[in-house]
Amino acid sequence: MLKSMTGYGLASTEYLQKKITVEIRSLNSKFLELNIKLPRSYSERESLIRNEATKAIERGKANVNISIEQSDAQESSLLNKDKFNAYYKQLTQLANELGADTSQLFQQTLSIQDVWSVQEQSLDEEEWKVIYNTFLKALENFNQFRTDEGKTLSIDLEKRVLLILNAIPEAEKYEKNRIPAIKDKLDAVLKEAVGSDNLDKNRLEQELIYFIEKFDITEEKIRLKTHCDYFFQVMKEKEANGKKLGFISQEIGREINTLGSKANDAAIQKIVVGMKDELEKIKEQLLNII
């Protein structure tokens, strides 16, 4: 079962006049790059979140953001009015003494960190349970998103591998005509070189056998079909095998390249170009598979 490396999961819960929100995003990456942001009071639980996220996400550049929004009543109490008034009066007095502009003084005073009360809560086990369950729900939504994207990618990959497979019998239509064409070409070259009377039929047959062996593409067709069938098999496995499919696609590419180099026929080479085009699209899609 394929999973997309790109994913998104969101879950939120209301708890004691607070809104707990967990958002998980991921993009493509060769390895797992995990960034976690959570409230300071719960920083000691980051390892637990990291372990769960690592197992579930596997690969990708992922961000896990856990936030707690206070109610309006709680937020209003964060401003320390006494400190604000003290700073504002002193700054106003200083500005007047220096003849400085005071039009932005109110906003500038608000930007002073000391006028805001930092009321970090201690770790609350009951609240943590709510946070953790919300995280697990977001992780579930995230994985569902990846699975749904993986199904879409599977359909596209299957279609393109089938196009490569179906191109094999198309190439075979032109394969039989190559031998007579090679024989006629050799016959014409030898006649021109030594003359019809001096033509060595045995030599002609030997050269013909040599070219038939050199341009035979039977093994390439068999291996190409085997690799494509294996690609389908791996796609259906329970694990998300993006890297493994990448290796198989490389083997498919080798057989297509060899088939093209041995084709010695414009029609077959045209079909090979089409195969290569589909394979490049497959490789691009595999970059987004776990």
Q: Where are the domains of the chain?
A: 7-74+124-146, 79-115, 151-286
How distant is the alpha carbon of residue 205 from its chain centre? 54
In this model, does residue 76 exceed pLDDT 50?
no
Model-level pTM?
A: 0.71
Cα torsion through 215, 216, 219, 225, rounded to 10: 90
With residue 3 as reference, give the H or E element that holds it: none
Cβ neighbours of 163 (radius 10 Å) = 16
Mean pLDDT of the chain: 86
**Which of the two residues, 174 and 276, has the higher pLDDT score?**
276
Residue 255, Cβ density class (10 Å: 0-12 exposed, 13-18 middle, ≥19 buried): buried
Q: What is the pLDDT of residue 152?
A: 94
Q: Name the band, by pLDDT with cuts 50, 70 and 90, for residue 74.
A: low
Q: What is the pLDDT of residue 175?
A: 79
* Bridge partner list, 9: 24
Please state, in angstroms and as integers, the Cα–Cα distance from residue 71 to each residue in 75, 77, 132, 167, following that order: 6, 10, 20, 64
Own/partner long-range contacts of 40-47 (Cβ < 8 Å, ≥24 apart): 40/120, 41/120, 41/121, 41/122, 41/123, 41/124, 42/66, 42/123, 42/128, 42/131, 44/123, 45/123, 45/128, 45/132
**CATH class of domain segment(s) 7-74+124-146:** alpha beta
Q: Name the band, by pLDDT with cuts 50, 70 and 90, for residue 40.
A: confident
Mean pLDDT of 167-192: 77
Q: Name the band, by pLDDT with cuts 50, 70 and 90, for residue 102.
A: confident
CA angle, 244 then 246 then 250, to 5°: 115
Q: What is the pLDDT of residue 77?
A: 52
Percent of the chain with pLDDT over 90: 52
Residue 108, Cβ density class (10 Å: 0-12 exposed, 13-18 middle, ≥19 buried): middle
- Contact in structure between 228 and 251 (CB atoms under 8 Å): no
Residue 15: strand, helix, or coil? strand
Q: Name the band, by pLDDT with cuts 50, 70 and 90, for residue 220.
A: very high
* Among the ranges given (2-6, 89-93, 121-125, 263-267), the one the predictor scored with the smallest mean pLDDT: 121-125
Cβ neighbours of 106 (radius 10 Å) = 12
- Contact in structure between 18 and 39 (CB atoms under 8 Å): no
**Which of the two residues, 198 and 287, has the higher pLDDT score?**
287
Residue 187: strand, helix, or coil? helix
202-213 pLDDT, tens digit each: 766 676 667 677
Q: What is the pLDDT of residue 241?
A: 87
In this model, does residue 261 exceed pLDDT 70?
yes
Pair of tokens at residue 26: 């991921």
* Among the ranges given (245-249, 257-261, 279-283), the one the predictor scored with the smallest mean pLDDT: 257-261
Which residues 6+ apart lie within 8 Å of 200 measured at CB? 190, 194
In this model, does residue 26 exceed pLDDT 60?
yes
Q: What is the 8-class DSSP label of residue 60?
A: E
